[in-house]
Amino acid sequence: MNNEQDIYDIPTLKTGLLHTADGHTTCLTCGARFEPDEVYPCDGHYYTAAKAAAHHSEILQLESGRAVACSIQDGSGQLFQMQLYMPDTLTAEAVREKFIESGDVIYKLVLAALTGDKRLAQQSLGQLDETEGKAL
């Protein structure tokens, strides 16, 4: 996968996800493979293969804590990537869970902060509040 010989149709390229004949979903960017009828758990929440494929998050062990590597994939490849230091496993797991759940909103908040777009920040904070309300 991800070599010059691979040829994909337009819908596959737009989503960045390859749906194979055996029902699996594979991320074209990183090669992660997702089972068709399986949900993916993360700290008490469950996510569809599509959500898990789009919002990647991994906890990395460091000498003095943990790093949470987060990225968002889209049809053109990697849209967003960040890595955050966390002092302990519990905090790292909370960050990982929140990113998988709300990575698109987090991306918009970072973009708003970097560009000074107050309207985008307010809209994104509203979306984050809505997702918090669903979890309660």
Reported confidence tier of residue 131, pLDDT bands at 50, 70, 90: low
- pLDDT at residue 136, rounded to an integer: 34
Q: What is the pLDDT of residue 55?
A: 79
**β-strand partners of 61:** 66
- Give the largest Cα separation in the chain, rounded: 48
* pLDDT of 135: 46
Give yes or no for residue 114 having a pLDDT over 90.
Answer: yes
Q: In 10 A of CB 29, how many CB atoms? A: 20
The whole-angstrom distance between residue 115's C-alpha and the CA centroid of its chain comes to 22
| Rounded CA separation 109/98 (Å) | 14
Q: What is the pLDDT of residues 55-99, one digit of tens each?
A: 778 889 999 999 999 988 765 667 888 999 999 999 999 998 888
Q: What is the mean pLDDT of residues 4-12?
A: 67
pTM of the complete model beyond 0.75: no
